[in-house]
Chain A
Amino acid sequence: MDVTMNDVNSGQGRVQVRFVTSSPDIELPEGKRQLLVPTDAGRYKLSQLLNSDYMLDTQAPIPFDFLTNGTFLRTTLDEYLVSQGLSSETAVELQYVRSLIPPLFEASFEHDDWVSAVDVLSSTSPATTWGNSTISLGQERILSGSYDGLLRVWNKSGQAIATGPPASAGGHTAAIKSAKFISPTQIASAGMDRTVRVWKYKESPDHMSAELKPILELYGHEKLIYSIAVHGPSNRILSAGGDGKIGIWSMDAASMPAAPATLLPSALSTKRRKLGTSTSTPQRGPLSLINAHAFPVSSIIFNPLDPTVAYSASEDHTVKTFDLTTSTLVDTRTTMHALKSLTALPGISSQLLAAGTMARHITLLDPRVQAKNTQVMTLRGHKNIVTSIKPDPESNYGLVSASADGTCRVWDLRSTRQGTKEEGGVVGEPVYAIERQKEKGSQVFDVCWDNDVGIVSAGEDKMVQINRGKGVTRPGEILSN
């Protein structure tokens, strides 16, 4: 490091700093945690200082961020002290954390039509870990669902090794809205044709091609399906319908009731509409269909900590909690706006839900029934509908959101400010904004954040786009916007 103790000692004003961290692998030895630091130091200088041979003596520099009382330090220590009305006699406790690395563009995979859904299969993805399967590095798969009604599975080099069957061969008869890996060999998808479909996915021995075979067609929703959630170990699929209903389905055909005859395409006498019904694929109805919301259900998720609990977000402005074993409503949270997306975050002290609104922001809710302060924080920065949200796989504080404004934004729950009078409460601002590589400003419909692959997003530009932190950072810089 090019920072010497001379530099450190040459500043005019100095302040006593105590460096603490919650990550044991980067903890300073007890004797080095206190240091007199020049008051003109900001984030960048502090990061250099921590990396220096006198302090952590890191092999390659680790970019750090610093928190004071739970909020990122965005100014010099001097400015911080002044803003807090503190004298430089005060000892400051700085919590240091690894900086979020800017997610740089890596690749995009071209489709024939708008891409509405993405999911990733990797060594760390739920579909892999549920079944104790393994995916070796480089063998990750990306699943996409498109407005052309087709599923595609891609390898990391951008080859579509499988393309889902067309309507005439048992595929979806309209746009796909949601698609998920259940396991390395099973996929579920749903969309505008009001069906959930389950697929067997099998790769050739050389892994250069694969087959998507329909194994189940699930009927019950009266309107299109906006979102599905899958849970491998309990063999369950959840669906969120434009009819305000939540479907609970099994992947085991034998355990499910017959499909409601009036909702089958074969109910229509019109020849044209019958196309797309494969006679060989079993058709089934739901285990349960809950009349959950007054208006369309936009998003449905399992509680990652308890798969007998589901959360849903709706255009009726509410987030609801359901007990899946009894199909009953447990809790309703009413927000100010129509909701479009939902995810669960580990949170800072307890689990949080992040709901993306039609009104361009993200609301963080505490889903615990006994919670008094239910709306914890608002994340502001998007300029259009927030279409999808996913947690950072590496941090309890990070998340990524996709929006019709043409960006994905990366957020850190520790990066906050007090909202203006109109905004109210605590407001979080984006750390990074990811633009579309192909068509700037075009809508992003879905996003997935995988530990191995990175941030994978899909949109109106007919692309799946991969962005990934490369371990090099320019400090404190917002990539764009």
Chain B
Amino acid sequence: NIDPASLLPKLPKPEELKPFPTVSQTLFKGHEGRVRSLAIDPSGNWLASGGDDGTVRVWELHTGRQIWKAKIGDEEAVNVVRWRPVKDEVILSAAAGEEIFLIVPPPIANPEEEIRSRELLDTGFGYAKNETQNLTANGARKDPAGKWIRPGARLEDEGVLIKITVRSTVKTISWHKRGDFFSTVSPTGQRSAVAIHTLSKHLTQIPFRKLLGAPQTAQFHPSRPLFFVATQRTIRSYDLQKQELVKIIQPGARWISSFDIHSGGDNLIVGSYDRRLLWHDLDLSTRPYKTMRFHQKAIRAVKYHKGGFPLFADASDDGTLQIFHGKVVSDMMENATIVPVKVLKGHKVRSALGVMDIDWHPREPWVASAGADGTCRLWM
């Protein structure tokens, strides 16, 4: 007479897995309308946000004080904000409509950093001038995949220094860790939906001639020259140097909203509009190692902690974030231990939309969330 439950591996209790965020500590109020995206800067002191009001804002992380803002979207929402992940310069990227902006927010850069950051943004202008214009087969000038220009005096005065115009609305930005490349995804962009931008050359390239399905989001592998692109149902990884498909990951979700790669590089989490949260061990299979359905509504964002804590989180239209302990073991054959540890409630659901984006602090077990209720929150 063996109790079947006794054969299951014993999961640790949440209280044994501390620390993880438990309470809302800082409220960021100011956006009019939904906050669609947020990101904590590499130093861990500033929060950037963007939303339906067309503004990008920078806030002091521990007081919730807004210290800078610029309106970059006239009619368009700011769909995404992401910091360039290098501490020597202070560069924020943001996209509204078909335009991507590169920003040096003045209040947080000292004169030295500001000069260095501006120089880095400007070097590509020289390169772009020397570049011969691409011609199509019949000799006509090809419309560039991305046009890099100065955004005009009003924005330049605010610290918004580069504008890149692509062919359709940009929904996601993802930086390569060295800070020279970033990718953008425009799900309605068809052939040019995925673009890779080179900062030092002011160059926008379309890496794939043909894509199966509409791309949703993309990310660089943290250590290898691999690039992951999610369509609605699959995630493909490509070798950028060899220009070839490496793997097709099949989470089994109907519509992928987001994914994130573990800093170790071998594990991946996926969130979907059909409420699924999936963990993939890339060593094991192209199918998920674990499928979880905890939320009442769509999952919009998933993210691993990248600063040494075995934590990940997801954000949902049910207005909650869920925090998980997810410990990756070095043994190839052993699976990660995954334990849900906390549901964070506080954001209000507005027009069926809840939490739109999340980001972890670079070194502490703190997570920030962007809400359709117009607020951001820091949970500690």
Chain A residues with CB under 8 Å of chain B are: 114, 147, 174-175, 192, 194, 222-223, 242, 262-265, 267-268, 272-273, 295-296, 315, 338, 340, 358-359, 383-385, 404, 422, 443, 445, 460
Contact = CB atoms under 8 A, between A and B. Distances in A.
Nearest to B364: A338
A217 to B, nearest CB: 14
B110 interface: yes
13 contacts: A175-B65, A175-B67, A194-B110, A222-B113, A262-B115, A264-B111, A272-B157, A404-B25, A404-B26, A404-B62, A443-B63, A443-B64, A460-B63
B311 to A, nearest CB: 16
A268 B25 contact: no
A295 B363 contact: yes
B370 to A, nearest CB: 20
Contacts of B110: 194, 222-223, 263
A244 B44 CA distance: 13
B141 to A, nearest CB: 35
A231 to B, nearest CB: 27
Interface of B: 15, 23, 25-26, 43-45, 62-65, 67, 106-107, 110-115, 157, 363-364, 380
Nearest to B106: A273
B45 A296 contact: yes
B316 to A, nearest CB: 25
Contact of B111 (A175, A267, A358): A267
Task: Give the dominant DSSP class at A's interface.
Answer: loop
Nearest to A273: B106
Contacts of A147: 65
Given A338-B364, A385-B62, A443-B63, A192 B112 contact: no
Nearest to A221: B110
B25 A222 contact: no
Contacts of A194: 110
Contacts of A114: 63, 65
A404 B61 CA distance: 12
B213 to A, nearest CB: 43
A268 B114 contact: yes
Contact of B112 (A222, A242, A385): A222
B26 A265 contact: no
Given A273-B106, A295-B363, A338-B364, A268 B111 contact: yes
A266 to B, nearest CB: 8
B112 A358 contact: no
Given A192-B107, A404-B63, 5 more contacts: A114-B63, A147-B65, A194-B110, A263-B110, A358-B364
A113 B368 CA distance: 25
A438 B25 CA distance: 20
A262 B63 CA distance: 29
Contacts of B380: 358-359, 385
B107 to A, nearest CB: 6
B111 A263 contact: yes
A358 B62 contact: yes
B62 A192 contact: no
Contacts of A385: 25, 62, 380
| 7 pairs of A and B residues whose beta carbons are closest in the complex | A267-B111, A262-B112, A268-B111, A222-B110, A384-B25, A263-B111, A194-B110
A140 to B, nearest CB: 28
A37 B148 CA distance: 87
B112 to A, nearest CB: 5
A383 B25 CA distance: 8
A105 B106 CA distance: 40
A262 B43 CA distance: 21
Nearest to A267: B111
B67 A263 contact: no
B115 A267 contact: yes
A340 B62 CA distance: 10
Nearest to B26: A404
A175 B108 CA distance: 12
A318 to B, nearest CB: 14
Contacts of A422: 15
A147 B115 CA distance: 26
Contacts of A267: 111-112, 115
A446 B95 CA distance: 38
Contacts of B115: 262, 267-268
Contacts of B106: 273
A404 B380 CA distance: 13
A406 to B, nearest CB: 12
A264 B111 CA distance: 7
Contacts of A262: 111-112, 115
A261 to B, nearest CB: 9
Interface centre among B15, B110, B114, B363 (most CB of A within 10 A): B110
Contacts of A315: 44
Nearest to A264: B111
B305 to A, nearest CB: 15
A242 B111 contact: no
A462 to B, nearest CB: 12
A223 to B, nearest CB: 7
Contacts of B15: 422
Nearest to B25: A384
A241 to B, nearest CB: 11
Contacts of A338: 364
A295 B62 contact: no
Nearest to B380: A358
Nearest to A460: B63
Contacts of B157: 272
A222 B114 CA distance: 11
A445 B63 contact: yes
Contacts of A264: 111
Given A338-B364, A358-B62, A359-B380, A174 B112 contact: no
A418 B267 CA distance: 43
A295 B61 CA distance: 14
A147 B59 CA distance: 13
A116 to B, nearest CB: 8
Contacts of B114: 268, 273
B107 A263 contact: no
Nearest to B156: A270
A385 B26 CA distance: 9
B306 to A, nearest CB: 16
Contacts of A263: 110-112
A265 B363 contact: no
Contacts of A242: 43, 45
A174 B65 CA distance: 12
B107 A174 contact: yes
Nearest to A242: B45
A404 to B, nearest CB: 7
Contacts of B43: 223, 242
A192 B66 CA distance: 13
B44 A295 contact: yes
